[in-house]
Amino acid sequence: MLIAHLSDLHIGATPATVTRLEQVIAYLQRLRQAPDAILVTGDLADHGAEGEYLIVAGLRRLGAPLLVLPGNHDDRATMRRVLLGAEPSPEPLNQVVHVGDAVFALCDSSVPGHAEGLLSDATIGWLESVLDEAGERPSFVCCHHPPVPVGKPAADAVKQVGAWRLAALLESRPSVVALCCGHIHSAAVGAFAGKPVLAAPGVESTMLLPWEPPDRPDPGPALAFHLFEDGRLTTHYRAAVSAG
Ligand SMILES: [Fe+2]
Ligand SMILES: [Fe+2]
């Protein structure tokens, strides 16, 4: 199973966000093996506007199942209506999607009106039932906000809070392979509750780390590939570069 994991498109933040998404699509169109799914872990739209989601929907041209979840910049109701063709409910947008034998629990960690994340009581309860149902099948827990600090104070101030409940849930679940997140605009790997935390880089921009020079050039849009074979996960990070 090959998953292309994108995050933080922020369509509408600047005109360049559309160009950068097109660059990623062009890169993915030239792969020699089509991904089994495209996972986008939030901040798809910068203002949660319908027109922004219609641009995000361009990812459907790739033909792979499109797995999306909301970030703090998204609007649940508009995202539901435009991208999922569902009723525009303001309730947490949690979805379970099966890709081959694997289960993807797409959790809504957004809190309307706030930049930090939280898995609500309802979402934690939902996730528990999804993992119960999944049994021994390999499961990927996906949400926008990483539950761990990453070494950048501005990002750590808006991470997922109350994550001890998620930790308690995951520690008893050997079938959970990894947590897939976004939000920090950085290709980063951490650990939480004995699971890898795999953050996709931001398509819109790359976070400047405190120890990097402030005039560091923009590295361009990038993504993660999660390869899951024979029960083993390998993650590769790649710049979405086009042929010269
Ligand atoms: Fe973001
Ligand atoms: Fe975010």
45 alpha carbon – ligand 1 mean position (Å): 9
138 alpha carbon – ligand 1 mean position (Å): 28
Neighbours of ion ligand 2 (CB under 5 A): 43, 71-72, 183
Measured distance CA(102)–CA(180) in Å, rounded = 14
Q: Take residue 228 and report the two structure tokens written for it.
A: 């899951």
Q: Which ligand does the CA of 207 lie closest to?
A: 1
Q: Which ligand does the CA of 206 lie closest to?
A: 1
244 alpha carbon – ligand 2 mean position (Å): 32
Q: Which ligand does the CA of 8 lie closest to?
A: 1
Neighbours of ion ligand 1 (CB under 5 A): 8, 43
- Report pLDDT for 31: 97
- Report pLDDT for 35: 98
Q: Report the DSSP pairing between strands 117-118 and 160-161.
A: parallel
Q: Which ligand does the CA of 44 lie closest to?
A: 1
- Report pLDDT for 195: 98
Measured distance CA(230)–CA(54) in Å, rounded = 37
117 alpha carbon – ligand 1 mean position (Å): 12
CA-nearest of 228, 221, 199 to 28 is 221
- Report pLDDT for 242: 79
- Report pLDDT for 172: 87
Averages of pLDDT over runs of 10 residues in the chain (244 residues) are 98 98 97 98 98 98 98 97 94 97 98 97 98 98 98 96 97 96 98 98 98 96 98 97 74
Distance linking the first and last C-alpha atoms of the chain: 29
Determine the distance from the C-alpha atom of residue 95 to the mean position of all C-alpha atoms in its chain, rounded to a whole number: 13
Q: Which helix (H) or strand (E) holds 38?
A: strand 37-41
CA-nearest of 186, 188, 189, 224 to 205 is 186
Which domains, and CATH codes, for the chain?
2-239 (3.60.21.10)
